[in-house]
Structure 1
Amino acid sequence: MREIETIVVGGGPAGSTCARRLRQHGRDVVVLDKATFPRLKLCAGWITEKVLRDLEIAPGDYPHPMLPLDIRSHLRGLPFGLRWFPTPGKNFSIRRVEFDAWLLARSGAEVIRHDVRSIRRDGDRWIVDDAYACRWLIGAGGTMCPVRRAVFPNQRPKSRQIVTLEKEFSYPAREDACRLYFKRGLVGYAWVVPKGDGHVNIGLGAKAKYLRKSGTDIHAHFRAFVDDLVAEGRLDAATAAGLNETGHPYYLFTRDGAVRADHCLLIGDSAGLATMDLGEGIGPAVESGLMAADEILGRGTWDKAKVTLFSLAGVAQRLMRVANRRHLPAA
């Protein structure tokens, strides 16, 4: 059995950030991930200036396209005319298939392709699949993280479940503006995010409990949104007809939910971290990865209260309430 000081399960932005900080201080760390990087990861791929500062990415460091975003926000189906508002600071889009692989390689940590099946406590060590033993175990494997399932099995309040549908594809005719649509009848929002090399990500997300209460289907919302984009001239009809959207759920525990056991810490999506308004997860993932590493290094404490709660200081959350208050059953 191989002995390692820290095992990080999951090589996304949270896991690679944690591993990099530990490696910078000479610590023994291995990243386990069932995927081979680069790997497909559907995501709007929105990052902020703060994310770049936290990751210590200087201008010119990143070798792939990073597109500055001109963000326009729309209220749809409402009688008044607020069509857009600027967001604070600079924002950028990346493709996760490139971004995650680059961050993981940059971390300097050893990466082992391994699908974690079992985790148990043995004295002062965590045992992973009877193949690896570690003093510190970091769960960074996303919503279905095996660390969260094994060590925090009851942490999944369905009232906080978010469901999304999206599609990322090459579309050179796309415009450069990033558009956020706060749609009537959807407790969430839809987006069109341009990316480098002529790619675009189109999608929407909503709170699952409100979809159930309203009796609406998220696929119907997606098709209606795509039809709107065609009507607006932002997407051609042939491309729209050929889109096969992909869905995935995740859970928000940003305000609560356990993130620690005995020398075991959850970070990123496995800890249910994303901003409460736009569900942006890369920033909170990076923040949690750094704090977890600092706790292992004895330089600080992983504190959920310090994670960024809102992308737009609550503005987007208020817009969602306005756009939907008269179109859904009472909560």
Structure 2
Amino acid sequence: MREVETIVVGGGPAGSTCARRLVQHGRDVVVLDKAQFPRLKLCAGWITDKVLRDLDIAPGDYPHPMLRLDIRAHVPGLPFGLRWFPTPGANWSIRRIEFDAWLLARAGAEVVAHEVRRIRRDGDRFIVDDAFACRWLIGAGGTMCPVRRALFPEGRNKSRQIVTLEKEFPYPAREDVCRLTFFRRGLVGYAWVVPKGDGVVNIGIGGKAKYFRTSGTNIHDHFRAFLDDLVREGRLDAATVADLKETGHPYYLFSRDGAVRDGRCLLIGDSAGLATMDLGEGIGPAVESGLMAADEILGRGTYHKGEVTLFSLSGLTQRLMRRANRRHLPTPTAA
């Protein structure tokens, strides 16, 4: 059986960030992931200046395309797109198939292709599939993380569940503008068009699963209607839309309930349900939680869920949400 101080289950941004900090301080760490990197990961791929600072990356350090975003927010009833988008600093788009693989390689940790199936405790150790043993166990395997399922059996807060549909594909005719459409056709969520480098675009729609369960609407119908709108606006051609096959996945917005630690076992990133409460942005909270978990192992701090960034739009979102709640209107919670 392989003995190691820390096992990180999941090699995405949360897991690779945690592993990198541990490696930088000379700690023994192994990353387990069932996927071979680079692997396809559909995501709008929005990152902020803060994410780059947390990762200690300058835009020029990144070897793949990183496009600075010109964001326009669209709200029904307004005849124009808001050119001012209230996020501090610059915003960028990346492709997760490139970004995640680069982060994991940069971490410098040993990566083992292994699908985790069984986890048990043995005194102060965790045993993984009777093949690995560790003192610290980090769950970074996303929404369906095997660490969360094995050691955190309490149910998820279903009111915080988000579902998305999206497609990422080459489309050289795309515009270099990121468009976000809120409250489209009553959707409690938003739709997006995110341009990326090398003529790639990511188009998607997301919202609260509860909305689709209670409204009688279907997310696939919302997605196809959004594509039809883009064709009418001249942003996509009909032939491209006809061939698109969207892919969906669920995850969870930040919720104050739900444990993220059990002794020396910590959940980070989407396994902990840390996406921002307003825009559902997950990369920033994943990186933050990965750093916090590593610092706890290093004895440099304590990982507290409440210290992870809650809102992408900071104080403005909180004011809008309070105002919407007072008026009993749906709030802009999204995917």
Q: Deviations over 1:128-186 (max 9, x none)?
A: 00000000000000000000000001231211110000000000000000000011310
Q: After the TM superposition, which segments of 4 or more aligned residues of structure 1 sit over 2 Å from their partners?
A: 80-83, 85-88, 252-256, 313-322
* Aligned: 1:83 with 2:81: yes
**In the alignment, does 2:247 pair up with 1:246?**
yes
Q: Is the 8 A contact 2:189 2:208 kept in 1?
A: yes
Q: Is residue 275–residue 311 contact of structure 1 (8 Å, CA) maintained in 2?
A: yes
RMSD over equivalenced CA pairs, Å = 1.8
Q: How many residues align?
A: 324
Q: Please name the residue that 1:129 is paired with.
A: 129
User: Partner residue of 1:186?
Assistant: 187
| Secondary structure in 1 matching 2:133 | strand
- Matched with 1:295 is 296
Mapped to 1, the partners of 2:187 and 2:122 lie a distance apart of 47
Corresponding residue for residue 46 of structure 1: 46
Q: Which residue of 2 aligns with 1:27?
A: 27
Is residue 211 from structure 1 mapped to residue 233 from structure 2 by the alignment? no
Deviations 1:222-271, CA, capped at 9 Å, x for gaps: 01100111111111111011111001111224433100002000000000
2:191 and 2:206 in contact (8 A); partners too: yes
1:118 aligns with 2:118: yes
1:1-331 superposed matches below 5 A: 1-76=1-76, 78=77, 80-81=78-79, 83-84=81-82, 85-88=84-87, 89-182=89-182, 183-313=184-314, 315=316, 318=320, 325=329
* TM-score normalised according to structure 1 size: 0.94
Unaligned runs of 5+ in 2: 331-335
CA contact (8 A) 2:254 2:277 kept: no
Q: Secondary structure at the match of 1:284?
A: helix
Q: TM-score, normalised by structure 2?
A: 0.93
- Give me the whole-angstrom Cα distance separating, in 2, the residues matched to 1:297 and 1:210: 42
| 1:100-124 Cα distance to aligned partner (Å, 9 max, x none) | 0000000000000000000000001
Q: Report the alpha carbon displacement of residue 210 of structure 1 after superposing the two structures with TM.
A: 1.3
1:298 partner letter: G
Matching residue's letter, 2:20: R
3-state SS in 1 of match to 2:280: coil
* Residues 238 and 208 (structure 1), Cα distance of their counterparts in 2 relative to 1, 3 Å cut: same
The aligned residue for residue 333 of structure 2 is none
CA contact (8 A) 1:167 1:244 kept: yes
Could you tell me which amino acid in structure 2 is paired with residue 43 of structure 1? Answer: C
Amino acid at match of 1:86: F
Q: Which amino acid aligns with 1:110?
A: E
1:314, distance to aligned residue in structure 2 (A): 6.0
Q: Which amino acid aligns with 2:198?
A: D
Q: Cα–Cα, structure 1 residues 61 and 254, in superposed 2: closer, same or farther, change >3 Å?
A: farther
Contact 1:163 1:207 in 2 (8 A): yes
Unaligned ranges ≥5, structure 1: 327-331
- Cα pair 1:187 1:321 within 8 Å, conserved: no
Letter of the 2:148 counterpart: R
Answer yes or no: is the 8 Å Cα contact 2:69–2:92 preserved in 1. Answer: yes
- In structure 2, C-alpha distance between the alignment counterparts of 1:92 and 1:234, rounded to whole Å: 21
Counterpart code for 1:154: E
Q: Give the Å deviation of 1:83.
A: 2.7
